[in-house]
Structure 1
């Protein structure tokens, strides 16, 4: 059994626990929260044996093999390195860190301590993403990609009323690019690699983060236009255009339905089977890599993919003037 600890007690950790129930050799052992009341309540709700309010104490106990980090982005680097330095494997929510420099530090700690570090971008493990990679050649030479992830944040109403919650606070390395833009950028890096050129625009809020924006990634033959927003919604699917056909993805964060359109008018749709919750597949990959024990790195959410994604977002932030305390 791989004994897990969890950092964070929010809705995403609830979904993580639900998804982990189908993963063989997964055992939930510990939880951390900043407050004793929250840690104890979460542990009781989910039947977790150990709870902590101190990260160092949690990492020093010889009772967990791995940890899932779902804290605010600005804490990812320091928390991950604390566990990695103890030889504890780390599955860390996207984005992996505030910037590329922090990602490099985390990877160095993982390699030094023979521990697995993996970015928890769930979409790249979903069956339909794997199917997309297998069948992408059928649409011929790819020319243009329009990818969108725009979801009006429930926290934006509080923001407009004068309350700046974590989602719109630069101290936590947040904003539209970091929260939703990564869903657009990371899969494109996995599919096409590092872009030759990046052009970014953004709508900056008074709090100092971006409410929405776009990033154009230019390759030798492909132009990828990514749009993302936390202050508006979209109902337009992602589209990959090739010379021989087009494929649409209903939601870039879900990949539940792929539809291929041939130039001759033929169409074919693939609906993802709902055998497991979406987060199941990333947990299964993480556990499988640990148990294989040969090379402690995912071939899909690899170190290189995390570095390239962070590099793209760093350049985009530079162009729109989005600076975090973690950058200084």
Structure 2
């Protein structure tokens, strides 16, 4: 069994734990929260034996082998490095850090201490996305990638009332790009690598973060269009267009359905058997890597995490989105 601790007692941690209990080899043993009351309540709920309010003590503990980090983006790098230096494997929520310099440093620390670091980008480890990868050649040379993740945030209602919650705070390295845009960019880079050119624009909010944005990314013979928003909804699928047909993906952030529409009018369903909760598959991949003694995922690789963050750095520079970590 791989003994896990979690840092961050929020809704995303709850979703992960609900899925992780189905993963063979996963065992929750430790909870960290800033207050003993919340740590105890969360640990009781999920039957974790050990509770911590001191992160250094948790990192040095002999009661865990790995940790899942789901704290604000500004804290990812420092917290991950603390656990990595203590020989703990780290599954860290997306985006992996606040900027590419932090990602590069995290990778160096993981390699130095011979432990596993993986970005918890759930979409690229899902069976449906893996099917898209394996069928991509069928549509011929790819010419365009169009991805959208626009989801009206319930926290935006509070924002309009004058209450700025964490989702819209630049001091936590938040905003639409970091929260939703990354879901469009990471699969793009997984499929096609680093773009040659990046052109971005965004609607900035008074708090200092982006409420929505659009990005054009150019490759040799291929262009990509990415749109994202936390202040409006969109219901259009993601489309990868080739010379012989197009692949349509229902939701780029958590794909469940995909199909190929060929130029001759025929349609091929390439959806996979995806019976587990969406966050099951990232935990399964992470646990499998530990059990096999591997130190890097060949799906959510170091290079893909680094290149994605480098692209996001370029976008932020163009739109004027600045974080304290910079």
Whether the TM-score (by the shorter chain) exceeds 0.5 is yes
Aligned to 1:310: 309
Kept after mapping to 2: 8 A contact 1:255/1:272: no
Deviations 1:151-197 (A, max 9, x none): 00010001111111110000100000000000000010000000000
TM-score by length of 1: 0.98
Cα distance in 1, alignment partners of residues 220 and 25 from structure 2: 44
Cα distance in 1, alignment partners of residues 11 and 198 from structure 2: 33
SS in 2 for 1:326: coil
Deviations 1:118-165 (A, max 9, x none): 000001110111100110010011101110000000100011111111
Cα distance in 2, alignment partners of residues 208 and 67 from structure 1: 31
TM-score by length of 2: 0.99
Kept after mapping to 1: 8 A contact 2:127/2:274: no
Aligned to 1:6: 6
SS in 1 for 2:217: strand
Cα distance in 2, alignment partners of residues 115 and 258 from structure 1: 35
Aligned to 2:102: 102
Q: Give, in angstroms, the shift of residue 272 of structure 1.
A: 4.0
Deviations 1:196-217 (A, max 9, x none): 0000001100000000001111
Kept after mapping to 1: 8 A contact 2:131/2:272: no
Q: Give, in angstroms, the shift of residue 271 of structure 1.
A: 3.5
Aligned to 1:326: 325
Q: How do residues 156-167 of structure 1 correspond to structure 2 at under 5 angstroms?
A: 156-167=156-167
- Asked whether 1:129 is paired with 2:123, we answer no
Aligned to 2:233: 233
Q: Give, in angstroms, the shift of residue 274 of structure 1.
A: 3.9
Aligned to 1:79: 79
Runs of 4+ with >6 A deviation: none
- Asked whether 1:245 is paired with 2:249, we answer no
Structure 2 vs 1, CA of residues 72 and 35 (structure 1 numbering), >3 Å: closer, same or farther? Answer: same
Aligned to 2:187: 187
Aligned to 1:208: 208
Cα distance in 2, alignment partners of residues 49 and 274 from structure 1: 32
Q: How do residues 7-86 of structure 1 correspond to structure 2 at under 5 angstroms?
A: 7-86=7-86
Give the paired residue count: 326
Kept after mapping to 1: 8 A contact 2:258/2:271: yes
Q: Give, in angstroms, the shift of residue 275 of structure 1.
A: 1.7
Deviations 1:265-315 (A, max 9, x none): 00122344342111111111111111111x410011010000000000000
Aligned to 1:219: 219
- Asked whether 1:265 is paired with 2:265, we answer yes
88-97 or 214-223, larger mean C-alpha shift = 214-223
Aligned to 1:298: 297
Aligned to 1:278: 278
Cα distance in 2, alignment partners of residues 285 and 266 from structure 1: 34
- Give structure 1 stretches of 5+ with no counterpart: none
